[in-house]
Amino acid sequence: MMNRASSFLWNLRQFSTFVPTSRTMRLYPLGFSRPRIVFSYNSNLRNLLLSDFGNRVQSSIRYLFQDALIFKSRDDFQTKGVSPETVLTVSRVLCPRRLSFDSKHSLFSDEGLKINFHHEASNEDVLTKETKPTPVNYRKLSRECSSLSDVLDKFSEASTFPSSNYISAMWTIAKRMSDDQKRIEKQLMFNHPAFSQLCEQVMRDAKIMHCDHLLFSLHAVVKLGIPQNSLLVQTLLRVVQERINECDEKCLSVLSTVLEAMEPCKNVDVLRAGVWILADQQVWKIERVFTLQAVMKCVGKDAPIALKRKLEMKALRELDRFSDLNSQHMFEALAAMNHRSITLLNECSKMVIGNIHGCPFKVLINILQSCRDLRYRNLDLFKGIADYVATTIDIWKLKQVLFLLILLEDLGFRHTDLMDLFMKKVIDDPASLNMKSIISILHVYSSLNHFYKCQTQEFQEAMARSLTGYLHHISSENLLKAVSSFCLMNHFPLALINQLLQKDIINELLTSGDIERNVHKLRILAACLKLDTSCPKAVDLALPPLPSTPLSPNGKVADALSSLLGEGYFLRNVQLPHNYHIDFEVRMDINRSQVLPFSHMDAVTSAADIQRVAVLCVPRSTYCLDLTHPRGFLAMKMRHLKVMGFHVILVHNWEIERLQMKDVVTFLKTELYSAEAFPTAGVNLQSTC
């Protein structure tokens, strides 16, 4: 009994340090519309029993007061007596992290003090006449309000805990608005007198609201466009750092989504590193595929390779549970990590192809962009997407189809049916295109070297007429891009060329912007003006000389030519006029039945009796993705070499590397000699011109 009395007196002295005996205290719980809970200390409270909690009550109360309550003393209040039973009621949501006991546990005294931790407020004789408002669900709030200002008005009338409900309701309402309406509403939100109060309340509530409410608040704040460097956003980021260990799968998904949308900064980087640790610890416990993909997008390109592989393995394990949306979004998730998982991409490609009908256009664009970023080439996937768009082309806008064609061109994929259909639509309605669209269309068709039967000339003329209308508004670089595209297509609109060849425009191109790219395109123009017979104008352009870079031709082909022809019968690294270069040159008689030596050739044979042969060793990048159709620059080079009197042989580097030397010799022998002089041996690795 003496021990109990001693323990009680010690705890009573500690409690008295928080509640002075000479005055009444007011407690303001954060977020409860400042309800007043008035109580006084009475000397009759002697027999407080601490049988359930022992000395832990003192520390719990201290934590409670430190994090959950704001004390405000009033010296002008008169001391009032208290009833035999005084109640202090605290909601669990008020301080979820500090209270380790269950909400139904109570502390009872034999005579007087009852500290009751309960979900609902009670004992009206202790509370003032001010009633606590009922907490508002953000979904209900978003249904009742039609604008962001309406939510702020409700907050100013009677705010309830947690304040995250108001922020979440505002973002829910904003999602329903058009872009113009959203912009106006956000401006009204920033000017509303209650907005700063709501921000302050959110910051005060941050440490005591549940973790999911905290993260939903951060998500809504970011989506509403509140500046990232504001005190509100940075405070929420710091609190999330402190409470990141409370994150379950749902919280991890929300946090990953928020961080993905934020710009790098110190607090964001720290949180992202925290997500790396959480993901590494919890990856095998993640149940929802969308959560897994959100984490993959969040960890980013700088994540440790071990973590990327662990996330990849988790995704491969969940393949059987992938929905159509999961397979579509996996491309973007892998691209965000910069992790190319061929197995995962191949499986998701099959699912996308099998369920492509009804797939949103934005998703198709995201898939192609991710494939480009990951350097992933899948002919079946690209063909499936292009087939679907070609079949449903009437439901898409021209700009949408053009955007898809630009991505396919970047991937090197040429879909003839889709490009033919698009060409027809452009010919039928060229006025619907702006200058930027025309330049992009010219680039796509010239780069992929695409022509469509008899309509190619009509298409080129329609593009030239449309672009001529922008001559007074087009920049020098855009004009050069358009003219060089026309040159690749062997079409030369005089009005555009005359405008480009003006001295001040040429000087501007050689002194500003991307000078190296401009010089390259001007060289294309100069070569076409000299060599193409269809070009109406030949002008000499004073361009900087080509840099002298040492070139090493394909060693395997050089050895095969030496074995087949012998030294002195071919040349390496031949530089031609108009800045053209060929890997090997062989000279033969006009029937290509005999190879001629280069020594004393001019004295023995006239130029009319010589057939010059150009052997070009070309990489994959000079062909479209199917490796059968040369791209624009290679096609133009072959055209110009023909004009200069060459017979062109294309040697595919990637195929030569797989052959043995004797097969390379057989292949070159078949290509060098005419069919009449040497019957083909059945080797057909590439095209000749």
Flag whether pLDDT at 485 surpasses 60: yes
Asked if residue 210 is part of any domain, the answer here is yes
Quick one: 565 and 502 in the same domain?
no
Mean per-residue pLDDT, 515-537: 86
Flag whether pLDDT at 544 surpasses 50: yes
Token readout for 583 is 């890997």
Quick one: 536 and 568 in the same domain?
no
Quick one: 561 and 662 in the same domain?
yes
d(CA 145, CA 172): 10
Asked if residue 622 is part of any domain, the answer here is yes
Asked if residue 152 is part of any domain, the answer here is yes
Per DSSP, the residues of 577-639 read GGGEEEEEEEEEETTS-SEE-STTHHHHS-GGGEEEEEEEEE-GGGB-TTSSSB-HHHHHHHH
User: Residue 312: its pLDDT value, please?
Assistant: 96
Asked if residue 603 is part of any domain, the answer here is yes
Quick one: 599 and 492 in the same domain?
no
Asked if residue 300 is part of any domain, the answer here is no
Quick one: 600 and 657 in the same domain?
yes
Asked if residue 335 is part of any domain, the answer here is no
Mean per-residue pLDDT, 71-79: 36
Quick one: 541 and 579 in the same domain?
no
Quick one: 562 and 668 in the same domain?
yes
Quick one: 542 and 640 in the same domain?
no
Q: Domain total for the chain?
A: 3
pTM of the model: 0.75
Mean per-residue pLDDT, 381-409: 95
Among 246, 265, 296, identify where a domain stops.
246
Quick one: 565 and 542 in the same domain?
no
Among 246, 278, 312, identify where a domain stops.
246
Asked if residue 292 is part of any domain, the answer here is no
Quick one: 573 and 664 in the same domain?
yes
375: helix, strand or coil? coil
Among 525, 546, 567, identify where a domain stops.
546
Flag whether pLDDT at 277 surpasses 90: yes
Token readout for 363 is 């998703």
Q: What's the mean pLDDT when you consider all of the chain? A: 80
Q: For residue 198, what pLDDT band results from cuts at 50, 70 and 90?
A: very high
Asked if residue 175 is part of any domain, the answer here is yes
Quick one: 141 and 238 in the same domain?
yes
**Would you tell me how many other CB atoms lie within 10 Å of the CB of residue 134?**
8
Mean per-residue pLDDT, 471-476: 91
* CB distance 240 to 215 below 8 Å: yes
Flag whether pLDDT at 26 surpasses 50: no
d(CA 241, CA 234): 11
Residue 193 sits in which domain range? 137-246
Q: Which of 230-244, 282-296, 325-339, 664-678 has the lowest mean pLDDT?
A: 664-678
d(CA 82, CA 60): 24
CA-closest candidate to residue 421, choices 389, 447, 399: 389
Quick one: 570 and 516 in the same domain?
no
* CB distance 152 to 189 below 8 Å: yes
